[in-house]
Structure 1
Amino acid sequence: MSSQYEVSSWLPLEGPRKFIKAYGLGLLFSANVFGAGSVYILSNTGAQFGFTLLWTMPLALLVDLGMREMSGRLATIDEPLMKYIRETIGTTGGKALSVLIAFIMHFWAISNFAVGGAALAWLTPLDNIYLGIILTAGVGIALVEMRLYERVEAAIAVLILTVFTIYIVLMLGLDLPIGKVTSGLIPMLTTDLGYLATVVGLFGTTVYYPNFFIQSSMGPEKGWTDMSYYRKDNFVGIAFVVLLSMSVIAVSALTLDPHTPTLTSPAEPLVNAVGPWALPVFVTAVFLASFSSATGTLFGSGFMVPQAWGNDTKFGDKRFRRTVEVLVVMSVAFAILLLEYTAITPVELGITMPAVNGLIGLPITALALYMANRKFFDHPLWMRAGFAIIVGLMFVLAAMTAEGLYNQIIGWL
């Protein structure tokens, strides 16, 4: 699409096709962010800490917009982030880092395929989570094999809008206490490791670093050389996710007691409020979110790994597809092995993996984005300072939560 494409409003009324052209990339990023793991992280947050962590969502919105500003600027000059990394640290270092980040990134796919398989086993007569995982991954590979970005963008846009609609309908029957919701927007930090681990988990699942590798590589597909198009697209996508995330936390704080989360536990209190149909509808939404997020997340690796080898990769080309598909197969194998030989559950995987990525992949990506913007753009002082604060925040959160996350994982294993 040309950079001359005109958007008459923030939510154009010209029709679905123009809407997806204007905001489809943001919806794809939303689908990546709001995977199955997010559902359980958010509901577990509300159950464990009430309304007290609502403040993290507006902050995550600002941080994510700042990160997307940096990656979007790289897209306007067709300078993928991994290309900059390879040119900066050398070919060998770039290759090693791309493989490391891709490996960490695919932890998200492990958790999403595990939850998707559990949801499929619950919804159908399969009653076999491992077969459910394989079938869910098969749907993901079929999505990759659509090849053309416009097709994939449209398919994921339909999926994520369906998921959003389902969650909104499920939550309409509950009245939230406005006073408690408002009090939760006041920032509060404690030295409790579980609280801090939850904070970094929320940032890890909301400030979704694979999206930055994807966006910086999307210049040829989108054709936008004006940053304003990326800003509109980014704002609509992340604002929608943040508002929905805050709703999930608030509803869980109102309806759930602290517990070990299960596949259906976030929806069980809704049965009394809206009816027994809430349960299968909720699990259906979990399944849709699982495979769209698992596969969409790996699009970041589909760009990143070939670029580290010096290839000018385009969305859906052979190198892109093979990288994603290899990681899908690896994710399926790891998911089955973890479920078979450890005590961890699919839902626990969904809660843990975003925190792992927030601890490792997010700070590295934030620093690389900052350095790339310093090289290619002459930003005003206030913008450089804002970007530096974002990068510093990512490293501080990672350092503060490493011990708590390690203890949590060891306890589950």
Structure 2
Amino acid sequence: MSTSTYFERSVSGTKQFVNRYGLGLLFAANIFGAGSVFILSEAGSDFGFALLWVLPLALLAGLAMHEMSARLAAADRPLMIYITDRIGQTAAKPLAIGISFIMQFWSVANYALAGAAFVYISPLSNLYIGTILMAALGIALVELRLYSRIEGVVAALVLAIFGSYLVIVMGLDLPLGDVTTGFVPTLVSEFGYLTMIIALLGTTVYYPNFFIQTSMSGTKDWDVVEKYRRDHTFGMVAVIGLSIAVMVVAAMTIPDGGDITLTAPGEPLADALGPWALDVFIIAAGAASFTSATGTLFGAGFMIPQAYGRKTMFGDRPFRLVVHSLICLSVLFALPLLAFTGFTPVSLAITMPAVNGVIGLPITAIALFAAVNRYFDPSRIEQAGFLLVVIVLFIGSALTAQDLAGTIANYL
């Protein structure tokens, strides 16, 4: 086989892989922003292996939510259009704007983290300028307009991030007994424990992805559930496997109760591979933060035009206008939070998913459940499973709201 033929086949195979799993990798990128790295590291540092059980729960909940979402996507029934049909445009417009406003707090945290990573690896020393530059880069990414281009960029970044942490786990002497015990569900009456549970659920069962998935029929040109199911299952399993790895590494290497700094999750990688690995981690964390900050807002790019009665497409003018506006809003919130409160990029990354988990996630869960029951005829077992997920998410939100308020008050 000639070199040119081999290259052509490699390129063709890569394109097929990205087309088949690229949307799932976009979901993975949204889920596994740098914020997830720090949330998982905080969980492992503060509670050891005790919260590992939340991750399989998050996988099951995420797959159940995506199963509902995939059915809507294959039938080209965007979730926000269903909500608008049910409650009317008068109520849907402020609801879509409100959820999008809450959603952009993920981007507040992730652009701040991307800015911090950029400052760490570059001569620039001003965090605020770094944050603004990352937001400007997000606008530039959206201006690529063609989804296939963005999908390819995101896929490459996500696979590089996954690889960096899998390397270190393979080099660790895992205490299998303690790790196994961590998968047994337990509830601890300790400040921050319940907030961490909903933060893990909120950052893994990532509700913007459902608004994106149900709106992608015209872009992906898939009309069968199996293609969406294969795609999102790949992304979810990869994210949960990586999340388990990050939490285990943190539990074994980061001192109990130690502060989670920008470099803390990467220091074990540097110990295993050499000092250069810390720089690689920071670059990967910055890339993860950037892709998550921007990709998350794609959900709002669909939601708001749909609430106003427009059947928007990925990258069209209304989509870009909404995403660009929210990117700018994210920066306007990030700068004063960093300047005038006790929040740091890392503490923002740990807190903001919980905010979304308490507010946006249960609303999305009940809307998905109602939409699937309206348009389809799920079996009793499916209905029971879907309803159980909705109840768990609602209970989690109710139990953690007060704890979350206390956590935010401490930073303010």
Cα 1:163–1:382 shift into 2, 3 Å: same
Letter in 2 for 1:372: A
Per-residue CA distance 1:174-199 (angstroms, 9 max, x = gap): 22111111111111123334211111
* 2:121 counterpart of 1:116: no
Q: Does the residue aligned with 2:192 lie in a helix, a strand or coil?
A: helix
Letter in 2 for 1:367: I
Mapped contact 1:109–1:328 kept (Cα < 8 A)? yes
Task: Mark the runs of 5 or more structure 1 residues left unpaired by the alignment.
Answer: 1-11
* 2:319 counterpart of 1:323: no
* 2:304 counterpart of 1:305: yes
Instruction: Give the Cα separation in 2 of the matches to 1:71 and 1:285.
Output: 29
Task: State which of 38, 52, 55 in structure 2 corresponds to 1:54.
Answer: 52
1:266 aligned partner = 265
Q: Which moved more, 1:352-361 or 1:217-226?
A: 217-226
Instruction: Give the Cα separation in 1 of the matches to 2:260 and 2:186.
Output: 25
Mapped contact 1:170–1:278 kept (Cα < 8 A)? no
1:280 aligned partner = 279
Instruction: Give the Cα separation in 1 of the matches to 2:58 and 2:166.
Output: 21
Letter in 2 for 1:380: S
1:68 aligned partner = 66
Q: Which moved more, 1:287-296 or 1:272-281?
A: 272-281
* 2:402 counterpart of 1:403: yes
* 2:331 counterpart of 1:345: no
Offset at 1:13? Answer: 11
Correspondence list, 1:161-180, <5 A: 161-180=159-178
Instruction: Give the Cα separation in 1 of the matches to 2:253 and 2:164.
Output: 18
Task: State which of 185, 188, 196 in structure 2 corresponds to 1:187.
Answer: 185
Instruction: Give the Cα separation in 2 of the matches to 1:316 and 1:206.
Output: 25
1:369 aligned partner = 368
Mapped contact 2:23–2:231 kept (Cα < 8 A)? yes
Per-residue CA distance 1:253-295 (angstroms, 9 max, x = gap): 1111112211111222443332211211111111100110000
Mapped contact 1:13–1:19 kept (Cα < 8 A)? no
Letter in 2 for 1:264: T
Mapped contact 1:193–1:401 kept (Cα < 8 A)? no
Mapped contact 1:193–1:403 kept (Cα < 8 A)? no
Mapped contact 1:35–1:294 kept (Cα < 8 A)? yes
Q: Which moved more, 1:194-203 or 1:260-269?
A: 260-269
- RMSD between superposed Cα atoms in Å: 1.3
Offset at 1:14? Answer: 6.7
Letter in 1 for 2:312: T
Offset at 1:27? Answer: 0.3
Task: State which of 156, 159, 162 in structure 2 corresponds to 1:158.
Answer: 156
Q: Identical aligned pairs, as a percentage? A: 53
Instruction: Give the Cα separation in 1 of the matches to 2:40 and 2:279.
Output: 19
Mapped contact 1:116–1:136 kept (Cα < 8 A)? yes
Instruction: Give the Cα separation in 2 of the matches to 1:13 and 1:226.
Output: 26
Q: Does the residue aligned with 2:265 lie in a helix, a strand or coil?
A: coil
Task: State which of 83, 86, 89 in structure 1 corresponds to 2:84.
Answer: 86
Q: Does the residue aligned with 1:386 lie in a helix, a strand or coil?
A: helix
Instruction: Give the Cα separation in 2 of the matches to 1:339 and 1:137.
Output: 15
- TM-score, normalised to structure 2, is 0.95
- Moved >6 Å (runs of 4+): none
2:3 aligned partner = none
Instruction: Give the Cα separation in 1 of the matches to 2:386 and 2:11.
Output: 34
Instruction: Give the Cα separation in 1 of the matches to 2:228 and 2:29.
Output: 17
* 2:246 counterpart of 1:240: no
2:212 aligned partner = 214
Per-residue CA distance 1:93-152 (angstroms, 9 max, x = gap): 100100000000000000000011011001100011111111111211111011011111
1:4 aligned partner = none
Q: Which moved more, 1:175-184 or 1:267-276?
A: 267-276
Instruction: Give the Cα separation in 1 of the matches to 2:143 and 2:164.
Output: 27
Offset at 1:169? Answer: 2.8
Instruction: Give the Cα separation in 1 of the matches to 2:136 and 2:411.
Output: 28
Q: Does the residue aligned with 1:267 lie in a helix, a strand or coil?
A: helix
Per-residue CA distance 1:54-93 (angstroms, 9 max, x = gap): 1111111110000001111111111100001111111111
Instruction: Give the Cα separation in 2 of the matches to 1:265 and 1:386.
Output: 38
Corresponding residue pairs, total: 402
Task: State which of 13, 38, 43 in structure 2 corresponds to 1:45.
Answer: 43
Mapped contact 2:165–2:269 kept (Cα < 8 A)? no
Mapped contact 2:212–2:298 kept (Cα < 8 A)? yes
Instruction: Give the Cα separation in 2 of the matches to 1:153 and 1:275.
Output: 32
1:148 aligned partner = 146
Letter in 1 for 2:392: L
Task: State which of 176, 196, 199 in structure 2 corresponds to 1:198.
Answer: 196
Q: Does the residue aligned with 1:266 lie in a helix, a strand or coil?
A: helix
Cα 1:316–1:41 shift into 2, 3 Å: same
Instruction: Give the Cα separation in 2 of the matches to 1:349 and 1:53.
Output: 20
Offset at 1:215? Answer: 0.2
- TM-score, normalised to structure 1, is 0.95
Instruction: Give the Cα separation in 1 of the matches to 2:233 and 2:244.
Output: 16
Instruction: Give the Cα separation in 1 of the matches to 2:234 and 2:337.
Output: 36
Mapped contact 1:197–1:401 kept (Cα < 8 A)? yes
Per-residue CA distance 1:277-318 (angstroms, 9 max, x = gap): 121111111110011000000000000000000001000000
Q: Does the residue aligned with 2:366 lie in a helix, a strand or coil?
A: helix
Mapped contact 2:358–2:401 kept (Cα < 8 A)? yes
Q: Does the residue aligned with 1:360 lie in a helix, a strand or coil?
A: helix
